[in-house]
A and B are shown apart, each in its own frame.
Chain A
Protein backbone atom coordinates (compact mmCIF):
# COMPACT_ATOMS: atom_id res chain seq x y z
CA UNK A 1 0.00 0.00 0.00
CA UNK A 2 1.51 3.33 -1.00
CA UNK A 3 2.27 5.81 1.68
CA UNK A 4 0.07 8.90 1.69
CA UNK A 5 2.19 11.94 0.96
CA UNK A 6 1.21 15.39 2.07
CA UNK A 7 1.53 17.69 -0.93
CA UNK A 8 4.73 19.71 -0.70
CA UNK A 9 4.65 23.05 -2.44
CA UNK A 10 7.77 23.85 -4.45
CA UNK A 11 10.06 26.59 -3.22
CA UNK A 12 8.95 29.04 -5.87
CA UNK A 13 5.42 29.05 -4.41
CA UNK A 14 6.71 29.77 -0.92
CA UNK A 15 9.16 32.54 -1.76
CA UNK A 16 8.02 34.75 -4.62
CA UNK A 17 10.69 35.55 -7.15
CA UNK A 18 10.64 39.26 -6.46
CA UNK A 19 11.77 38.54 -2.90
CA UNK A 20 14.26 35.95 -3.95
CA UNK A 21 16.21 37.99 -6.46
CA UNK A 22 17.18 40.93 -4.22
CA UNK A 23 18.25 38.39 -1.61
CA UNK A 24 20.54 36.69 -4.10
CA UNK A 25 21.98 40.03 -5.15
CA UNK A 26 22.61 40.77 -1.50
CA UNK A 27 24.30 37.41 -1.00
CA UNK A 28 26.45 37.96 -4.07
CA UNK A 29 27.38 41.37 -2.70
CA UNK A 30 28.32 39.84 0.63
CA UNK A 31 30.34 37.25 -1.22
CA UNK A 32 32.26 39.91 -3.08
CA UNK A 33 32.82 41.72 0.18
CA UNK A 34 34.15 38.50 1.69
CA UNK A 35 36.53 38.01 -1.21
CA UNK A 36 37.73 41.54 -0.75
CA UNK A 37 38.37 40.74 2.91
CA UNK A 38 40.59 37.87 1.92
CA UNK A 39 38.48 34.91 2.98
CA UNK A 40 38.14 33.01 -0.27
CA UNK A 41 38.06 29.59 1.35
CA UNK A 42 34.72 30.43 2.95
CA UNK A 43 33.25 31.21 -0.39
CA UNK A 44 34.68 28.46 -2.50
CA UNK A 45 31.92 27.48 -4.85
CA UNK A 46 30.43 24.10 -4.10
CA UNK A 47 29.12 23.80 -7.62
CA UNK A 48 31.26 22.26 -10.34
CA UNK A 49 30.91 22.83 -14.02
CA UNK A 50 31.40 19.85 -16.28
CA UNK A 51 30.79 18.83 -19.86
CA UNK A 52 27.94 16.36 -20.35
CA UNK A 53 29.20 12.96 -21.43
CA UNK A 54 27.42 11.57 -24.51
CA UNK A 55 27.16 7.95 -23.29
CA UNK A 56 25.35 8.66 -20.01
CA UNK A 57 22.49 6.33 -19.20
CA UNK A 58 19.04 7.87 -19.47
CA UNK A 59 17.67 5.85 -16.55
CA UNK A 60 15.92 7.73 -13.74
CA UNK A 61 18.45 9.28 -11.38
CA UNK A 62 18.51 8.13 -7.78
CA UNK A 63 17.38 11.04 -5.62
CA UNK A 64 20.22 13.03 -4.08
CA UNK A 65 18.65 12.32 -0.70
CA UNK A 66 19.03 8.56 -1.11
CA UNK A 67 22.42 8.78 -2.86
CA UNK A 68 23.82 10.75 0.08
CA UNK A 69 21.78 9.19 2.91
CA UNK A 70 22.17 5.46 2.30
CA UNK A 71 25.85 4.60 2.00
CA UNK A 72 28.48 2.06 2.88
CA UNK A 73 31.57 3.88 4.15
CA UNK A 74 32.74 1.71 7.04
CA UNK A 75 35.30 4.26 8.15
CA UNK A 76 32.34 6.12 9.65
CA UNK A 77 30.34 3.14 10.91
CA UNK A 78 28.69 0.02 9.61
CA UNK A 79 25.08 1.12 9.28
CA UNK A 80 23.79 2.76 6.13
CA UNK A 81 23.03 6.03 7.92
CA UNK A 82 26.38 6.31 9.75
CA UNK A 83 28.30 7.92 6.86
CA UNK A 84 25.80 10.78 6.50
CA UNK A 85 25.78 11.28 10.27
CA UNK A 86 29.54 11.05 10.88
CA UNK A 87 31.32 12.17 7.72
CA UNK A 88 31.33 15.85 8.70
CA UNK A 89 34.45 14.99 10.74
CA UNK A 90 36.40 14.45 7.54
CA UNK A 91 38.72 17.35 6.61
CA UNK A 92 39.01 17.46 2.83
CA UNK A 93 40.89 20.73 2.45
CA UNK A 94 43.84 20.65 1.99
CA UNK A 95 44.10 17.26 0.27
CA UNK A 96 46.82 15.65 -1.76
CA UNK A 97 47.20 12.31 -3.47
CA UNK A 98 50.62 10.67 -3.44
CA UNK A 99 51.45 8.62 -6.52
CA UNK A 100 54.28 6.13 -6.12
CA UNK A 101 55.57 2.79 -7.28
CA UNK A 102 56.19 1.84 -10.88
CA UNK A 103 56.07 5.33 -12.33
CA UNK A 104 58.83 7.43 -13.87
CA UNK A 105 57.68 10.56 -12.09
CA UNK A 106 56.47 9.74 -8.57
CA UNK A 107 55.12 12.64 -6.56
CA UNK A 108 52.08 14.32 -5.10
CA UNK A 109 49.20 16.22 -6.61
CA UNK A 110 46.94 18.60 -4.69
CA UNK A 111 43.19 18.87 -5.12
CA UNK A 112 43.54 22.40 -6.58
CA UNK A 113 45.73 21.04 -9.35
CA UNK A 114 43.35 18.15 -9.94
CA UNK A 115 40.33 20.42 -10.18
CA UNK A 116 42.06 22.84 -12.52
CA UNK A 117 44.18 20.37 -14.44
CA UNK A 118 41.67 17.91 -15.87
CA UNK A 119 38.60 18.31 -18.07
CA UNK A 120 35.63 17.43 -15.92
CA UNK A 121 32.74 15.50 -17.39
CA UNK A 122 29.34 14.69 -15.98
CA UNK A 123 28.75 10.99 -16.45
CA UNK A 124 25.59 9.21 -15.37
CA UNK A 125 26.55 5.68 -14.34
CA UNK A 126 24.75 2.79 -12.73
CA UNK A 127 26.27 1.76 -9.40
CA UNK A 128 25.63 -1.82 -8.25
CA UNK A 129 26.45 -2.75 -4.66
CA UNK A 130 27.54 -6.31 -3.90
CA UNK A 131 24.75 -6.37 -1.30
CA UNK A 132 22.12 -6.32 -4.03
CA UNK A 133 21.05 -2.71 -4.39
CA UNK A 134 21.82 -0.16 -7.05
CA UNK A 135 21.69 3.54 -7.79
CA UNK A 136 21.96 5.78 -10.84
CA UNK A 137 24.31 8.67 -10.12
CA UNK A 138 25.46 11.70 -12.10
CA UNK A 139 29.18 11.77 -11.27
CA UNK A 140 31.53 14.59 -12.14
CA UNK A 141 35.07 13.51 -12.81
CA UNK A 142 37.71 12.56 -15.33
CA UNK A 143 39.23 9.28 -16.51
CA UNK A 144 41.79 7.75 -14.15
CA UNK A 145 44.09 7.18 -17.12
CA UNK A 146 44.55 10.94 -17.51
CA UNK A 147 45.92 11.18 -13.98
CA UNK A 148 48.11 8.10 -14.35
CA UNK A 149 49.57 9.50 -17.57
CA UNK A 150 50.93 12.50 -15.64
CA UNK A 151 53.07 10.18 -13.53
CA UNK A 152 54.16 8.08 -16.49
CA UNK A 153 53.88 4.40 -15.48
CA UNK A 154 56.88 2.21 -16.27
CA UNK A 155 56.79 -0.79 -18.61
CA UNK A 156 56.35 -3.29 -15.75
CA UNK A 157 53.32 -1.44 -14.32
CA UNK A 158 50.63 -4.10 -14.24
CA UNK A 159 48.37 -3.11 -11.37
CA UNK A 160 47.20 0.01 -9.56
CA UNK A 161 46.55 0.06 -5.83
CA UNK A 162 44.52 2.74 -4.05
CA UNK A 163 44.39 3.68 -0.40
CA UNK A 164 41.82 5.65 1.61
CA UNK A 165 42.82 8.15 4.28
CA UNK A 166 43.75 6.49 7.58
CA UNK A 167 42.98 8.78 10.51
CA UNK A 168 40.76 7.51 13.34
CA UNK A 169 40.37 11.10 14.57
CA UNK A 170 38.42 11.89 11.43
CA UNK A 171 37.13 8.42 10.68
CA UNK A 172 35.88 7.12 14.02
CA UNK A 173 35.19 3.52 13.02
CA UNK A 174 38.84 3.04 12.08
CA UNK A 175 39.36 2.35 15.78
CA UNK A 176 37.47 -0.90 15.21
CA UNK A 177 38.69 -3.95 13.35
CA UNK A 178 35.94 -4.46 10.76
CA UNK A 179 38.66 -3.90 8.16
CA UNK A 180 42.44 -3.96 8.36
CA UNK A 181 42.69 -0.19 7.86
CA UNK A 182 43.38 1.72 5.72
CA UNK A 183 40.91 0.55 3.11
CA UNK A 184 42.69 -0.65 -0.02
CA UNK A 185 41.50 -1.44 -3.51
CA UNK A 186 43.17 -2.39 -6.72
CA UNK A 187 42.70 -2.66 -10.46
CA UNK A 188 44.57 -4.39 -13.22
CA UNK A 189 46.35 -1.88 -15.47
CA UNK A 190 43.98 -2.42 -18.41
CA UNK A 191 41.02 -1.84 -16.08
CA UNK A 192 42.64 1.28 -14.67
CA UNK A 193 43.36 2.63 -18.16
CA UNK A 194 39.84 1.86 -19.42
CA UNK A 195 38.01 5.03 -20.50
CA UNK A 196 35.00 4.17 -18.27
CA UNK A 197 37.14 4.14 -15.11
CA UNK A 198 36.55 7.49 -13.49
CA UNK A 199 38.07 9.55 -10.73
CA UNK A 200 35.06 11.44 -9.41
CA UNK A 201 35.29 14.77 -7.59
CA UNK A 202 31.60 15.62 -7.64
CA UNK A 203 28.05 14.41 -8.06
CA UNK A 204 24.72 16.09 -8.77
CA UNK A 205 26.55 19.19 -10.02
CA UNK A 206 28.44 19.77 -6.78
CA UNK A 207 31.61 18.72 -5.01
CA UNK A 208 31.34 15.21 -3.53
CA UNK A 209 29.69 15.17 -0.12
CA UNK A 210 32.00 13.64 2.47
CA UNK A 211 29.92 10.48 2.92
CA UNK A 212 30.28 9.76 -0.81
CA UNK A 213 34.06 9.82 -0.76
CA UNK A 214 35.13 13.46 -0.81
CA UNK A 215 37.21 14.96 -2.14
CA UNK A 216 38.11 12.33 -4.73
CA UNK A 217 37.08 8.73 -5.30
CA UNK A 218 37.19 5.98 -7.85
CA UNK A 219 34.13 4.93 -9.87
CA UNK A 220 34.32 1.64 -11.77
CA UNK A 221 30.79 1.18 -13.04
CA UNK A 222 31.02 -2.46 -14.16
CA UNK A 223 32.30 -3.68 -10.79
CA UNK A 224 30.59 -3.98 -7.42
CA UNK A 225 30.57 -0.72 -5.51
CA UNK A 226 33.20 -1.70 -2.96
CA UNK A 227 35.82 -1.50 -5.73
CA UNK A 228 35.06 2.20 -6.11
CA UNK A 229 37.26 3.30 -3.21
CA UNK A 230 36.56 6.62 -1.51
CA UNK A 231 38.63 9.54 -0.19
CA UNK A 232 41.84 8.42 -1.90
CA UNK A 233 45.19 9.63 -0.51
CA UNK A 234 47.58 7.20 -2.16
CA UNK A 235 47.85 5.59 -5.57
CA UNK A 236 50.58 3.00 -5.97
CA UNK A 237 51.40 1.55 -9.35
CA UNK A 238 52.63 -2.01 -8.92
CA UNK A 239 53.96 -4.97 -10.82
CA UNK A 240 52.37 -7.51 -8.46
CA UNK A 241 48.68 -7.92 -7.87
CA UNK A 242 47.63 -6.11 -4.69
CA UNK A 243 45.12 -7.61 -2.23
CA UNK A 244 42.03 -5.50 -1.69
CA UNK A 245 40.54 -5.03 1.77
CA UNK A 246 37.41 -7.12 1.38
CA UNK A 247 39.34 -9.83 -0.38
CA UNK A 248 41.70 -9.93 2.62
CA UNK A 249 38.81 -10.11 5.07
CA UNK A 250 36.70 -12.72 3.30
CA UNK A 251 38.44 -14.20 0.24
CA UNK A 252 35.63 -16.67 -0.46
CA UNK A 253 33.05 -13.89 -0.55
CA UNK A 254 34.76 -10.97 -2.25
CA UNK A 255 37.11 -11.47 -5.15
CA UNK A 256 39.74 -9.13 -6.54
CA UNK A 257 37.85 -8.63 -9.80
CA UNK A 258 34.35 -8.22 -8.34
CA UNK A 259 32.77 -7.76 -11.74
CA UNK A 260 29.00 -7.43 -11.56
CA UNK A 261 27.76 -10.82 -12.68
CA UNK A 262 24.25 -12.23 -12.15
CA UNK A 263 25.51 -15.76 -12.83
CA UNK A 264 28.13 -15.84 -10.08
CA UNK A 265 26.52 -15.92 -6.69
CA UNK A 266 27.93 -14.64 -3.46
CA UNK A 267 28.28 -17.54 -0.99
CA UNK A 268 25.47 -16.10 1.12
CA UNK A 269 23.16 -14.69 -1.55
CA UNK A 270 22.51 -14.69 -5.27
CA UNK A 271 23.33 -11.74 -7.51
CA UNK A 272 20.64 -12.24 -10.13
CA UNK A 273 18.52 -9.26 -9.11
CA UNK A 274 18.98 -5.90 -7.47
CA UNK A 275 16.89 -3.26 -5.81
CA UNK A 276 17.03 0.04 -7.65
CA UNK A 277 16.89 2.65 -4.90
CA UNK A 278 14.44 4.23 -4.20
CA UNK A 279 11.98 3.04 -5.42
CA UNK A 280 12.68 1.59 -8.82
CA UNK A 281 11.64 -1.78 -7.46
CA UNK A 282 13.58 -4.97 -8.03
CA UNK A 283 15.14 -5.53 -11.44
CA UNK A 284 17.29 -8.18 -13.06
CA UNK A 285 21.04 -7.54 -12.75
CA UNK A 286 22.95 -7.19 -16.03
CA UNK A 287 26.35 -8.79 -16.56
CA UNK A 288 29.13 -6.20 -16.11
CA UNK A 289 26.31 -3.95 -14.84
CA UNK A 290 25.26 -3.36 -18.45
CA UNK A 291 28.72 -2.18 -19.58
CA UNK A 292 29.65 -5.51 -21.18
CA UNK A 293 29.96 -4.07 -24.67
CA UNK A 294 32.77 -1.81 -23.46
CA UNK A 295 34.53 -4.10 -20.98
CA UNK A 296 33.73 -7.79 -21.61
CA UNK A 297 36.81 -8.15 -23.86
CA UNK A 298 39.06 -7.44 -20.87
CA UNK A 299 38.08 -10.82 -19.45
CA UNK A 300 37.88 -12.87 -22.64
CA UNK A 301 40.29 -15.58 -21.55
CA UNK A 302 39.24 -15.70 -17.90
CA UNK A 303 36.96 -18.05 -16.04
CA UNK A 304 34.69 -15.55 -14.27
CA UNK A 305 33.51 -18.19 -11.80
CA UNK A 306 37.05 -18.71 -10.64
CA UNK A 307 38.11 -15.07 -10.86
CA UNK A 308 34.97 -13.61 -9.32
Chain B
Protein backbone atom coordinates (compact mmCIF):
# COMPACT_ATOMS: atom_id res chain seq x y z
CA UNK B 1 0.00 0.00 0.00
CA UNK B 2 2.76 2.43 0.96
CA UNK B 3 4.55 1.69 -2.28
CA UNK B 4 1.40 2.02 -4.34
CA UNK B 5 0.73 5.46 -2.91
CA UNK B 6 4.32 6.56 -3.31
CA UNK B 7 4.71 5.45 -6.90
CA UNK B 8 1.31 6.77 -7.94
CA UNK B 9 2.35 10.21 -6.77
CA UNK B 10 5.94 9.92 -8.01
CA UNK B 11 5.03 8.76 -11.53
CA UNK B 12 1.54 10.24 -11.84
CA UNK B 13 2.88 13.71 -11.14
CA UNK B 14 4.74 13.62 -14.43
CA UNK B 15 1.67 12.82 -16.52
CA UNK B 16 0.42 16.42 -16.96
CA UNK B 17 3.86 17.47 -18.15
CA UNK B 18 4.11 14.49 -20.46
CA UNK B 19 0.69 15.23 -21.88
CA UNK B 20 1.63 18.89 -22.43
CA UNK B 21 4.87 17.89 -24.11
CA UNK B 22 3.00 15.54 -26.40
CA UNK B 23 0.43 18.22 -27.31
CA UNK B 24 3.32 20.55 -28.10
CA UNK B 25 5.02 17.97 -30.28
CA UNK B 26 1.92 17.24 -32.37
CA UNK B 27 1.21 20.95 -32.73
CA UNK B 28 -2.07 20.83 -30.80
CA UNK B 29 -1.42 23.93 -28.69
CA UNK B 30 -2.90 26.42 -31.14
CA UNK B 31 -1.31 29.36 -32.87
CA UNK B 32 0.75 30.43 -29.85
CA UNK B 33 2.20 27.19 -28.49
CA UNK B 34 4.87 28.83 -26.32
CA UNK B 35 2.31 30.93 -24.52
CA UNK B 36 0.25 27.80 -23.80
CA UNK B 37 3.38 26.05 -22.49
CA UNK B 38 4.07 29.01 -20.22
CA UNK B 39 0.55 29.25 -18.85
CA UNK B 40 0.01 25.50 -18.45
CA UNK B 41 3.27 24.81 -16.61
CA UNK B 42 2.39 27.68 -14.27
CA UNK B 43 -1.07 26.24 -13.68
CA UNK B 44 0.36 22.76 -13.06
CA UNK B 45 2.84 24.20 -10.57
CA UNK B 46 0.08 25.99 -8.69
CA UNK B 47 -2.19 22.93 -8.71
CA UNK B 48 0.56 20.69 -7.39
CA UNK B 49 1.48 23.24 -4.74
CA UNK B 50 -2.12 23.36 -3.56
CA UNK B 51 -2.28 19.56 -3.76
CA UNK B 52 0.85 19.20 -1.66
CA UNK B 53 -0.56 21.47 1.00
CA UNK B 54 -3.93 19.73 0.82
CA UNK B 55 -2.31 16.49 2.05
CA UNK B 56 -1.93 17.92 5.53
CA UNK B 57 -5.47 19.25 5.37
CA UNK B 58 -6.84 15.89 4.22
CA UNK B 59 -5.01 14.26 7.12
CA UNK B 60 -6.55 16.79 9.47
CA UNK B 61 -9.97 15.75 8.18
CA UNK B 62 -9.47 11.98 7.91
CA UNK B 63 -6.61 11.18 10.24
CA UNK B 64 -5.26 8.74 7.66
CA UNK B 65 -1.48 8.79 8.12
CA UNK B 66 -0.59 7.06 4.85
CA UNK B 67 -1.49 10.27 2.98
CA UNK B 68 1.85 11.76 3.95
CA UNK B 69 3.65 9.29 1.72
CA UNK B 70 2.41 11.18 -1.33
CA UNK B 71 3.44 14.57 -0.06
CA UNK B 72 7.13 14.58 -0.91
CA UNK B 73 6.76 13.43 -4.55
CA UNK B 74 3.98 15.98 -5.06
CA UNK B 75 6.19 18.69 -3.63
CA UNK B 76 9.05 17.74 -5.92
CA UNK B 77 6.73 17.86 -8.94
CA UNK B 78 5.55 21.29 -7.81
CA UNK B 79 9.12 22.49 -8.04
CA UNK B 80 9.69 20.77 -11.39
CA UNK B 81 6.66 22.52 -12.92
CA UNK B 82 7.50 25.86 -11.34
CA UNK B 83 11.08 25.61 -12.60
CA UNK B 84 9.89 24.67 -16.12
CA UNK B 85 7.54 27.63 -15.97
CA UNK B 86 10.45 29.95 -15.16
CA UNK B 87 12.72 28.40 -17.81
CA UNK B 88 10.01 28.67 -20.49
CA UNK B 89 9.55 32.30 -19.48
CA UNK B 90 13.27 32.98 -19.87
CA UNK B 91 13.84 30.96 -23.00
CA UNK B 92 10.66 31.51 -25.03
CA UNK B 93 8.90 34.54 -23.62
CA UNK B 94 12.07 36.60 -23.13
CA UNK B 95 13.89 34.96 -26.07
CA UNK B 96 16.75 34.03 -23.73
CA UNK B 97 17.96 37.66 -23.74
CA UNK B 98 19.38 38.47 -20.32
CA UNK B 99 18.97 42.24 -20.64
CA UNK B 100 15.23 41.75 -21.21
CA UNK B 101 14.95 39.29 -18.32
CA UNK B 102 16.76 41.65 -15.99
CA UNK B 103 14.42 44.47 -16.97
CA UNK B 104 11.34 42.29 -16.38
CA UNK B 105 12.69 41.29 -12.97
CA UNK B 106 13.35 44.92 -12.05
CA UNK B 107 10.04 46.24 -13.39
CA UNK B 108 7.38 43.58 -13.06
CA UNK B 109 5.85 42.80 -9.71
CA UNK B 110 4.48 39.43 -10.79
CA UNK B 111 7.90 38.31 -12.00
CA UNK B 112 9.43 39.30 -8.66
CA UNK B 113 6.75 37.40 -6.76
CA UNK B 114 7.03 34.30 -8.93
CA UNK B 115 10.79 34.12 -8.81
CA UNK B 116 10.82 34.65 -5.04
CA UNK B 117 8.40 31.76 -4.64
CA UNK B 118 10.68 29.62 -6.80
CA UNK B 119 13.74 30.59 -4.73
CA UNK B 120 11.88 29.72 -1.51
CA UNK B 121 11.02 26.30 -2.92
CA UNK B 122 14.54 25.54 -4.16
CA UNK B 123 16.00 24.43 -0.78
CA UNK B 124 12.94 22.27 -0.23
CA UNK B 125 13.44 20.52 -3.55
CA UNK B 126 17.16 20.13 -2.92
CA UNK B 127 16.59 18.42 0.44
CA UNK B 128 14.03 15.99 -0.90
CA UNK B 129 16.05 12.82 -0.50
CA UNK B 130 16.17 10.66 2.61
CA UNK B 131 19.83 11.35 3.37
CA UNK B 132 19.22 15.10 3.57
CA UNK B 133 16.40 14.49 6.01
CA UNK B 134 18.66 12.39 8.21
CA UNK B 135 21.64 14.74 7.95
CA UNK B 136 19.71 17.80 9.03
CA UNK B 137 17.44 15.94 11.49
CA UNK B 138 13.74 15.52 10.91
CA UNK B 139 12.84 18.42 13.18
CA UNK B 140 14.89 20.97 11.26
CA UNK B 141 13.82 19.43 7.93
CA UNK B 142 10.20 19.92 8.90
CA UNK B 143 10.82 23.44 10.06
CA UNK B 144 12.55 24.25 6.75
CA UNK B 145 9.52 22.93 4.87
CA UNK B 146 7.25 25.50 6.45
CA UNK B 147 8.67 27.65 3.63
CA UNK B 148 6.04 26.01 1.45
CA UNK B 149 3.43 28.32 2.95
CA UNK B 150 5.01 31.68 2.11
CA UNK B 151 5.89 30.23 -1.30
CA UNK B 152 2.22 29.34 -1.82
CA UNK B 153 1.06 32.82 -0.82
CA UNK B 154 3.57 34.41 -3.20
CA UNK B 155 2.61 32.04 -6.01
CA UNK B 156 -1.06 32.88 -5.57
CA UNK B 157 -0.48 36.64 -5.57
CA UNK B 158 1.75 36.13 -8.60
CA UNK B 159 -1.09 34.36 -10.41
CA UNK B 160 -3.66 36.85 -9.25
CA UNK B 161 -1.65 39.77 -10.60
CA UNK B 162 -1.41 38.31 -14.10
CA UNK B 163 -4.95 36.94 -14.27
CA UNK B 164 -7.10 39.29 -16.30
CA UNK B 165 -10.55 37.81 -15.93
CA UNK B 166 -10.12 34.54 -14.02
CA UNK B 167 -9.43 36.36 -10.77
CA UNK B 168 -12.45 34.83 -8.92
CA UNK B 169 -10.90 31.36 -9.25
CA UNK B 170 -7.60 32.62 -7.86
CA UNK B 171 -9.40 34.37 -5.02
CA UNK B 172 -11.21 31.12 -4.20
CA UNK B 173 -7.88 29.29 -4.13
CA UNK B 174 -6.61 31.94 -1.75
CA UNK B 175 -9.56 31.31 0.56
CA UNK B 176 -8.84 27.57 0.50
CA UNK B 177 -5.19 28.29 1.25
CA UNK B 178 -6.11 30.38 4.29
CA UNK B 179 -8.46 27.65 5.53
CA UNK B 180 -5.77 24.99 5.15
CA UNK B 181 -3.21 27.18 6.84
CA UNK B 182 -5.59 27.68 9.76
CA UNK B 183 -6.06 23.95 10.24
CA UNK B 184 -2.32 23.36 10.07
CA UNK B 185 -1.67 26.01 12.70
CA UNK B 186 -4.39 24.48 14.83
CA UNK B 187 -2.70 21.05 14.59
CA UNK B 188 0.65 22.60 15.36
CA UNK B 189 -0.62 24.31 18.50
CA UNK B 190 -2.52 21.20 19.62
CA UNK B 191 0.53 18.95 19.15
CA UNK B 192 2.99 21.27 20.82
CA UNK B 193 4.69 19.43 23.67
CA UNK B 194 4.01 20.85 27.14
CA UNK B 195 6.85 23.06 28.34
Contacts and interface: CB of A to CB of B under 8 A. Distances in A.
Interface of A: 3-5, 63, 65-66, 69-70, 78, 80-81, 178, 265, 268-270, 272-273, 275, 277-279, 281-282
Contact of B103 (A4, A65, A272, A278): A272
A178 B165 contact: yes
Interface in B161-182: 161, 164-165
Closest 3 CB pairs of A and B: A281-B95, A69-B31, A282-B95
B194 interface: no
Contacts of B27: 3, 5
Contact of B107 (A65, A70, A265): A265
B31 A279 contact: no
Given A3-B25, A66-B32, A279-B34, A273 B100 contact: yes
A270 B103 CA distance: 9
Nearest to B101: A282
A265 B32 CA distance: 25
A3 B100 contact: no
The size bracket of the interface on B is 20 to 34
Contacts of A178: 165
A70 B29 CA distance: 12
Main secondary structure of the interface of A (DSSP, over half): loop
Interface of B: 24-25, 27, 30-34, 92-95, 97, 100, 103-104, 107-109, 161, 164-165
A4 B25 contact: yes
A3 B95 CA distance: 15
Contact of B108 (A63, A65, A66, A269): A269
Main secondary structure of the interface of B (DSSP, over half): helix
Contacts of A3: 24-25, 27, 33
A268 B161 contact: yes
B169 to A, nearest CB: 14
A4 B32 CA distance: 16
Nearest to A283: B95
A65 B27 CA distance: 13
Given A270-B103, A282-B95, A70 B32 contact: yes
17 contacts: A3-B33, A66-B32, A69-B30, A69-B31, A70-B32, A80-B32, A178-B165, A270-B108, A272-B107, A273-B100, A273-B103, A278-B31, A278-B32, A279-B34, A281-B95, A282-B95, A282-B97
Nearest to A67: B31
B165 A78 contact: yes
Contacts of B164: 78
A282 B30 contact: no
Contact of B93 (A65, A269, A275): A275
Residue among A3, A63, A81 with the most chain B CB within 10 A?
A3
Contacts of A265: 107
Contacts of B109: 268
Given A265-B107, A268-B161, A270-B103, A282 B32 contact: no
A76 to B, nearest CB: 14
Contacts of A70: 30-32
Contact of A66 (B31, B100, B165): B31
Given A3-B24, A4-B25, A282-B95, A81 B108 contact: no
Residue among A80, A81, A269, A272 with the most chain B CB within 10 A?
A269
